Amino acid sequence: MQVPANSLPIKSSSPVLVVGNNHLIDSVAKLTALNFDAAEQLFIHSRAAGKHGKKPQCLILSVDGQEVYTLDLTKISPEAVLAKLLALPPVIGHDLKSTYKVLLELGIALPKVAHDVFVGAFLLNSLRREQTLTELAETDLGYDGSPFDDLTTDDVMTRAPEIVAVIRALYAQQSKDLQAIPKLADLARDVEWPVIAVLARMEYTGIQLDTAYLAKFAVEIDDAVSDLEQQIYGYAEQEFNIASPGQLAEILFTKLNLSTQGIKKGKTGYSTDAKQLDKLRDKHPIIDLISQYREVAKLKNTYVDALPKLVDDQSRLHTTFNLTIAQTGRLSSTDPNLQNIPTRTELGHHIRTAFVAGPGNKFVSADYSQFELRLAAVLANDTELIEMFNRGADIHQATAAQVYGRELEDVTKGMRQAAKVINFGILYGMSPHGLSVATGMTNEQAVTFIERYKQLRKPLFDYMDHLLEQARADGYVETLFGRRRPMPDITSSNFMVRQGAERAAINMPIQGTEADLMKLAMIRVDKLLSDHYPDSRMLLQIHDSILIECPAADADAVAEMLKNTMQEIYELPVRLDVDATIAVNWGEL
């Protein structure tokens, strides 16, 4: 076979990838000559020097992949680009969220997503970790050339036709694969593609951080660290590096002579990780102090000291929401991670208090109540549990009454707490030992409790058994909307690996359905804000909640809209309950 001169290097068994012609657009005159008005779709790619699209360098556009237009944004004014690209047709690209932030910086209205090969690859196989353009090209197309990642702007502009050729080929391949799974194709069209623009706007906008507040709190936390150090040194009767596992082990197991029975031992000595320290919790008061020291030091390093260094010149912090990391489809937050700030500790409260609404604005937050358990009831068709939710019952009190055979008014706080622990823990495979640790029950009591619970919630346990059967038979499990997670380890001969796969098979359809519904809600809320509250902005999605910044005068109306939209986002047999709150900082929500 004769390979065209303008083709990409590929492995002999792979189809030829033909490269188009590159047209460098580095003047307003050349820009003016472009015309995409008749285009039904557009291949697009970008490069920015700063994070979150703040310093656009180039924009690559092509209608057919054959004629590629590379806009040098360092030589053309944003105003000229905006005037020419005021409205774009649906676009196809790789990591369109990054390109959308470039468009936002240029002031260009975000077009509809036709396809994102970055997200598409993950949808088709959520276990894969090859997601850069180079990795996708090599794995899926047999590409055997130079990487496309970490290129200079000049190299990106020079190799623009190659980039478009790869995106075009991946798009053709993924479109065919998605068509073979109609439910997954619908999920891409209705959920994954539309949420990209929503997330781009959230990341680009950022959230304001009160750096002066954090600076003051840093002094307080330094004092707390110093106090803990002195107390630990007092019990150890000497100063040492508390952060050094070796020195800490020497203090605990040699100087204080704590028992090493059941303590994990490695090549360098006994472990002092959190799990091992838990085994020593009641053996010496120094253990609690060390745990406190670690928590305070971690929060100080991760948030109090680090966050002020990450704000822009408007004191706004811009996280990144990842669509292709959690196999359930849940969003994750990185650079910085704003999802892991503790919610139930005083330190976590202080850190959240530093996130503030701008002058004249307020925060509105809405949070799904008992989201996973409600969805588990729906997916398992547990009609009794659904009915309890729909009549507004205290689900933990009602469960305790049923398990213990008591009247509702006779349920004690301890009984309700045990029911709460199992209601939430059973979806994660909670064992009798786990229940006994969490509630103080004896192991025998925990075994009896779980057996009664299994009889009570038989549809839920039958559903979990069905999921395991489906995973073994089909090799995957899926959400209500068709999001799939492959389950290759479900038949592993290794017990620990197989057990982990079984837990994932049970968790994924519930957590994944939750993630799909949350994205649908975000898409709808974004549209309503644009239509009715243009001065309001969605800022964060954390676990089961959405955070909006809006003018104080609109806060009540935005809260009502947000609550209603989240509750009514999809017709389900169970009622979704949402709690909405209004405050001037995140800590008060």
Identity at 577, one-letter amino acid code: D
Task: At 384, list the tokens.
Answer: 């009794």
Task: At 342, list the tokens.
Answer: 């503790």
Task: At 95, list the tokens.
Answer: 């990591």
Residue with tokens 């359809």: 509
Task: At 344, list the tokens.
Answer: 């139930």
Radius of gyration of the chain (CA): 27
Three-state DSSP state, 321: strand
Give the model's pLDDT for residue 282. 86
Three-state DSSP state, 431: coil
DSSP state of 274: H
Give the model's pLDDT for residue 5. 59
The Cα–Cα gap between 66 and 21 comes to 6
Which residue ranges in the chain fall short of pLDDT 70? 1-5, 12
Give the model's pLDDT for residue 4. 57
The Cα–Cα gap between 4 and 254 comes to 73
Task: At 465, list the tokens.
Answer: 């058994």
Task: At 438, list the tokens.
Answer: 């969490």
- Cα atoms in the 13 Å half-sphere on the side-chain side of 477: 31
Write down the domain spans for the chain.
Answer: 21-180, 211-314, 346-369+515-588, 373-507
* Nearest CA among 419, 445, 417 for reference residue 432: 445
Fold classified for 211-314: Taq DNA Polymerase; Chain T, domain 4 (1.20.1060)
Q: Vertex 585, ends 582 and 586: CA angle to 5°?
A: 85
CATH 1.20.1260.120 fits 373-507, yes or no: no
Give the model's pLDDT for residue 50. 82
* Nearest CA among 269, 354, 343 for reference residue 542: 343
Residue count of the chain: 589
The Cα–Cα gap between 422 and 412 comes to 16
CATH 3.50.30.60 fits 346-369+515-588, yes or no: no
Identity at 543, one-letter amino acid code: H
Three-state DSSP state, 382: coil
Tens digits of per-residue pLDDT, 465-476? Answer: 999 999 999 999
CATH (one of 2.60.120.200, 3.20.20.60, 3.30.420.10, 3.40.190.10) for 21-180 = 3.30.420.10
Distances in Å between the Cα of 231 and the Cα atoms of 193, 263, 475, 510 are 54, 24, 54, 45
Q: Note the Cα 203 to chain centre separation in Å.
A: 13
Tens digits of per-residue pLDDT, 191-246? Answer: 999 999 999 999 999 999 999 999 999 999 999 999 999 999 999 999 999 999 99
Determine how β-strand 484-486 pairs with β-strand 332-334.
unpaired
Give the model's pLDDT for residue 3. 46
Helix (H), strand (E), coil (C) string for 523-563: HHHHHHHHHHCCCCEEEEEECCEEEEEEEHHHHHHHHHHHH
CB 404 within 8 Å of CB 411: yes
**How would DSSP label each residue in 444-511?**
HHHHHHHHHHHHHTHHHHHHHHHHHHHHHHHSEEE-TT--EEE-GGGG-SSHHHHHHHHHHHHHHHHH
